Structure 1
Amino acid sequence: MAFQPPGPEERLEAIGPTAGLPAILRLALDPGTDFEPIPAPRTGDWLAAHPEPGQSFEEFIRSRPNRPDHPRNRVYLYPLGNFPLDKSPPVDFLKEYAEAFFGMGTQVMKPQTGSDPRFTTRINPFTRKRQILSTDVLNYLKSLLPGDAFCLLAITMEDLYPDPAWNFVFGQASLRERVGVFSFARYDPAFYGEGRGGKDRGILLKRSCKVLVHETGHMFSLAHCIYFRCVMNGSNHLQESDSRPQFLCPVCLRKLHSSIGFDIVLRYERLLKFYRQAGFGPEAQWAAKRLREISGGGRH
């Protein structure tokens, strides 16, 4: 059956009742005009190929999601392989974004360089580039999970594939095992033989931030979002991935807030500061607008 975008009532139902919540949180979960409904998928889009049923807030709660606790309350990033300065996002840049987005301490583990024989590899028949089997990486990460880790996410410039029948995958995560891996390889325009310019650096950074929080979101048991344009939307190709916003919709924001308990206003303030420092103009404007609407004005 073809995917049909949810209507207004279904979207509100997915957010769930908010009458008993604090006023600031109710405002933050009000879609208003800041969150676009998800459009009908086009041929080749994620929901055209995978018509997912969605995950409302109530369904999320009933699923007994992964939640940080004591002592498992830290996000770990694990750089896998080489990160050339001219075509890679700075790992510290990603660490800062994860801290602002999730409101949790984030730590970078000691990088591993070179090839690892534990991983199955192949040469992609279309790109003629080397790929690593992502499920091998997930199995390896399970043995590295620190005692205070809520989750461990490997980041790599190597291209990935999840199964011999697949061409590639941007990233893959295990919801229950709290490990994940994602690749920046296809987010670099040079991967497709294009020249690399100054503008491409900003594109790579934005793409890297999106996939970082998307894959980490899965570790909090967030399924793909089918209600609004959201960073948790599924993606079947690069153009679709680029069309996703950097932010969480009200449904997914409520899920994450219920698990972490961050201060909503402080989170948006930290994101606004990050976006401004990173030169993410449209994202900074959006975050500033949300802050004004949630906190009733101010200097944002």
Structure 2
Amino acid sequence: MIKFYVFLTILILSIFGCKPKDDFEKLSDLDIPLETPKSGEWLAEHEETGQTFEEYEKLKPIKPNNVKNKIYILPIGGFTRQEDSIVNATVVYLRLFYNIETVKMNGIKDDIVPKEMRRLNENGDEQLNADYLIKKVISNYKPKDALVIMAITGRDLFPKPSWNYVFGLATYNEGVGVTSIARYEPNNKDFALGLGRTIKTSAHEIGHMFKMKHCTHALCVMNGVNSLSEDDTKPNTLCSVCLKKMDFNFGFNLKDRYQKILEFYQKYSLVEDEKIIWKQLEIIKN
């Protein structure tokens, strides 16, 4: 009987020139448009036009295949026990977020970075040149079956001499990137604080490796940010447009994906992210 009513509803809608919303259209009802950027925020200082789904399709982004089908995470440098726990949880999260096998590699020491590619930041802490890491270090460790490889380091990063710092950096074509947890208070007694920030930047940088540009459509994990305070205003989830892009790559079972990510957020007390993903899951269920 239920199937009959579903069929009847679809038939009536088709007669009147309408069609039921697909999952992405339904999820778009939850998209929160970006506000006018404030002074100092990313979009106030960077002119970006965003990226539609149609524009994304034309880029022919890399997709999993029989040869390349894994995400690799390469730890660089030393980590405290809690920092290592954050890295391990991030590997689990990325596996759920992108629905692809994600592997933590054996770590390497950061003394592989020469002295001329290091400097001190405004707090007197050592920074590593992220661009050098990507081009001269991380790329050399990329396995043959890797779709992408991303390093995670406890050291602060800078992309070029004119920039103070960067949370992460990634290439659009080579599938190589790096994320730093140095500014995320990774040893705070509130474990969720450091973890939530780390998974956000990690998912963001890997999104770039799959040729996603910064999102200007709505609040989204792919929004560009200029500071930690701005970063904390962004969600860990994808907006409906960016989700559709990643579904184009990976063919998600959306209900299953949302359910597993919800359980991850609940496990690690990521309360605000849990609220968002719960609403998205309810829309998919209905």
Same fold per TM (> 0.5)? yes
Q: What is the distance in 1 between the residues matched to 2:184 and 2:86? A: 14
Q: Which of 108, 126, 132 is the aligned partner of 1:130? A: 126
Q: What is the distance in 2 between the residues matched to 1:119 and 1:147? A: 30
Relative to structure 1, the CA distance from residue 136 to residue 273 in structure 2 (aligned partners, 3 Å threshold; closer, same or farther) is same
Measured after TM superposition, the shift of residue 279 of structure 1 is: 1.2
1:244 aligns with 2:240: no
Structure 1: which 5+ runs fail to align? 1-21, 190-195
Relative to structure 1, the CA distance from residue 261 to residue 125 in structure 2 (aligned partners, 3 Å threshold; closer, same or farther) is closer
1:71 aligns with 2:62: no
* Structure 1 partner of 2:154: 157
* Structure 2 partner of 1:211: 201
| Residues 175 and 209, structure 2, Cα contact 8 Å, conserved in 1 | yes
Structure 2: which 5+ runs fail to align? 1-18
1:198 aligns with 2:189: yes
Measured after TM superposition, the shift of residue 91 of structure 1 is: 2.2
Q: What is the distance in 1 between the residues matched to 2:269 and 2:184? A: 18
1:46 aligns with 2:42: yes
Measured after TM superposition, the shift of residue 33 of structure 1 is: 4.2
Give the CA RMSD over aligned residues.
1.9
Q: Which of 124, 141, 144 is the aligned partner of 1:144? A: 141
Q: What is the distance in 2 between the residues matched to 1:131 and 1:142? A: 19
Q: Which amino acid aligns with 2:171?
A: S
4+ runs deviating over 4 angstroms: 86-89
- Structure with more of its chain in helix, by fraction: 2
Q: Which amino acid aligns with 1:198?
A: K
Measured after TM superposition, the shift of residue 29 of structure 1 is: 3.6
Q: Which of 187, 198, 201 is the aligned partner of 2:184? A: 187
Relative to structure 1, the CA distance from residue 63 to residue 197 in structure 2 (aligned partners, 3 Å threshold; closer, same or farther) is closer
Measured after TM superposition, the shift of residue 85 of structure 1 is: 1.9
Q: Which of 111, 114, 120 is the aligned partner of 1:115? A: 111
**2:214 partner SS:** coil
Larger radius of gyration: 2
Q: Which amino acid aligns with 2:245?
A: K
Question: What TM-score do the two structures reach when normalised by structure 2?
Answer: 0.88
Relative to structure 1, the CA distance from residue 125 to residue 105 in structure 2 (aligned partners, 3 Å threshold; closer, same or farther) is closer
| Residues 231 and 247, structure 1, Cα contact 8 Å, conserved in 2 | yes
| Residues 99 and 106, structure 1, Cα contact 8 Å, conserved in 2 | yes
| Residues 28 and 294, structure 1, Cα contact 8 Å, conserved in 2 | no
How many residues align? The count is 267
